């Protein structure tokens, strides 16, 4: 038995964001979001965020849902870190919050927005695999308003085996992190988690779906390889050019140059697979550069 790599955007969207994924997503969000109430229902929406003002950036998330109380949840799976990543998460969240109103609408119509971001790298200096950020007063930590909430799940910090998972949240995180390496479906009591495993089972996929998944996994491998190569070449070039006083500066410039060259190479290989916006989001290149390549 073989399961999809849930760290690819294709597999993640198929399991959590397709037409028949409502119950799965509802269970996952109820387990991971620390709300004051259980989510009764939700609607999965178009993940593209079209700006209402000319000149604003178009952005996209992996999954977007509206909860029964009107709250918005935007979900992303990110494999590699890149410059401006934390700012992009905040920008997406703020834009989804602001885009709720049309001209003349009252601010009281605004609903909370929660950004749930799952990353395959370490972001914060803490041992916890889940971090929640809100607007708080600096000294007494009183809450300003809970309309904006940023939730991060760092997969490298979660190291439990399935048998050691106690909560349904831990079982969901285990599934997302380890599905690709699981050979036998574990004994499951939660029907939604069982359904997620069934959807992720590669035996249920068509030939076209398997090919698409393989391309996404190849893309991940190319990203990781390019980063490692850029680091090696950057260090080498930095050592050669930096020597003494300029050593630190040379290393930095070498790494950045190596990163750019590798990003451009990856982008060229993806032009016939992905659109400009997706390439820009996943690799971290400007849209103008990608358009120039195309």
| Per-residue pLDDT tens digits for 45-92 | 876 554 444 444 444 568 999 999 999 999 999 887 878 889 999 999
| Per-residue pLDDT tens digits for 111-122 | 999 999 999 999
9 phi and psi, to 5 degrees?
-65, -35
Angle at 33 between CA 115 and CA 21, to 5 degrees: 80
Q: Which residues contact 76 (CB under 8 A, 6 or more apart)?
A: 61, 62, 63, 89, 92, 115, 116, 117, 118
| Per-residue pLDDT tens digits for 220-265 | 666 666 666 666 666 666 555 555 555 555 545 555 656 676 777 7
Is pLDDT of 279 > 80? no
Pairing of strands 48-49, 59-60: antiparallel
Range of 19-23, 145-149, 212-216 with top mean pLDDT:
145-149
Beta bridge partners of 151: 116, 132
Query: Any idea of the CA torsion for 185, 187, 189, 192, to the nearest 10 degrees?
Result: -10
Q: CB of 151 within 8 A of CB of 164?
A: no
pTM of the entire predicted model: 0.72
- Joined together, the tokens standing for residue 3 give 């399961």
């Amino acid at each position: 038995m073989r399961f999809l790599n849930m760290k690819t955007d294709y597999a993640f969207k198929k399991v959590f964001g397709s037409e028949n994924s409502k119950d799965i997503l509802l269970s996952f969000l109820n387990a991971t979001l620390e709300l004051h109430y259980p989510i009764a229902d939700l609607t999965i929406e178009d993940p593209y965020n079209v700006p209402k003002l000319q000149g604003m950036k178009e952005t996209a998330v992996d999954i977007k849902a509206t909860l029964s109380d009107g709250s918005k949840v935007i979900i992303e799976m990110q494999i590699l870190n890149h410059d401006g990543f934390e700012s992009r998460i905040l920008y997406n969240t703020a834009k989804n919050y602001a885009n709720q109103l049309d001209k003349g609408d009252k601010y009281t119509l605004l609903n909370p927005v929660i950004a749930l971001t799952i990353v395959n790298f370490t972001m914060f200096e803490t041992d916890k695999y889940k971090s929640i950020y809100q607007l708080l007063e600096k000294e007494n930590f009183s809450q300003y308003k809970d309309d904006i909430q940023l939730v991060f799940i760092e997969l490298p910090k979660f190291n439990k085996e399935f048998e050691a998972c106690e909560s349904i949240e831990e079982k969901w995180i285990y599934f997302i992190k380890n599905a690709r390496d699981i050979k036998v479906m574990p004994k499951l009591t939660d029907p939604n988690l069982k359904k997620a495993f069934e959807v992720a089972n590669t035996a249920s996929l068509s030939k076209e779906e398997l090919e698409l998944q393989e391309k996404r996994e190849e893309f991940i491998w190319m990203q990781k390889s390019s980063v490692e190569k850029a680091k090696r070449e950057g260090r080498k070039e930095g050592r050669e050019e930096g020597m003494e006083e300029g050593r630190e500066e040379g290393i930095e410039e070498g790494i950045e140059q190596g990163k750019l060259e590798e990003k451009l190479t990856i982008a060229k290989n993806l032009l016939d697979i992905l659109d400009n916006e997706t390439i820009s989001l996943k690799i971290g290149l400007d849209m103008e550069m990608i358009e120039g390549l195309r």
